[in-house]
Amino acid sequence: MLKIKIRNADSEDAERFVNCYLRAYRGLESYAFSSKRDVKSYFRWLMKRDAKGVYSADVMIKTQGFDWSELRGAGFVACDSNWFSKYEGKEVCEIHEIFVDPEWRGIGIGSMLMREAISYSVKMRRDVLELWVGERNYRAMKFYRKFGFSSREKNGCWIRMVKTLNVK
């Protein structure tokens, strides 16, 4: 039996973030940092931008008997409610990052993280969620479309996608 818990990330998640990130972006290296050091700095930057918008997914696994074991950091989402979008001409909730460890994909963790990002944007009264996705990252694009994101501008190999929210 499995349970998935979404919680706010903190500075102690740095190592988990780095390891999960590097596994998650295998095969998508052209859209990602490749060194541990860069990913660690990136995590610090995300936390500095908007720590309350960074979430981790933890997996609780029921082992024999009544014991639960916990795997912290099976996926992460990093939102930034202080982001000024020059495309929208206002502050938006930017999803800088979302990824799930390949071992734990396809069971709804990404969707839970995305729902958390949407709730966070509403809570912070940002009516636009924005992100950039690699032009050949078809799985992620399909995932975003499922959540109602639509494609906008292209900048190099990146495509901007947005979802509007009712925050009234």
Ligand X SMILES: CC(C)(COP(=O)(O)OP(=O)(O)OC[C@H]1O[C@@H](n2cnc3c(N)ncnc32)[C@H](O)[C@@H]1OP(=O)(O)O)[C@@H](O)C(=O)NCCC(=O)NCCS
Residues 108-127 that bind ligand X (CB under 6 A): 108-111
Residue from 24, 54, 59, 162 that binds ligand X (CB under 6 A)? 24
**Residue 131 or 167: which CB sits closer to ligand X?**
131
In the stretch 71-100, what mask flags binding to ligand X with x, by CB under 6 A? ---------------------------xxx
User: What spatial distance separates the first Cα and last Cα of the chain, rounded to whole Å?
Assistant: 39
Instruction: Outline where the chain has alpha helix (H).
Output: 14-24, 36-50, 109-123, 138-146
**Residue 47 or 100: which CB sits closer to ligand X?**
100
Residues 54-73 that bind ligand X (CB under 6 A): none
User: Which residue from 68, 121, 71 is spatially nearest to 100, judged by alpha carbons?
Assistant: 71
Residues 133-162 that bind ligand X (CB under 6 A): 133, 137, 139-140, 142-143, 146
Q: Please check whether residue 59 is in contact with residue 2, taking contact to mean a CB–CB distance below 8 angstroms.
A: yes
**Residue 5 or 168: which CB sits closer to ligand X?**
5
User: Which residue from 82, 78, 114 is spatially nearest to 97, judged by alpha carbons?
Assistant: 78
How many residues can be counted in the chain? 168
User: Which residue from 82, 66, 120 is spatially nearest to 98, judged by alpha carbons?
Assistant: 120
In the complex, the residues that contact ligand X under the rule CB under 6 A are 24-25, 28, 98-100, 105-111, 133, 137, 139-140, 142-143, 146
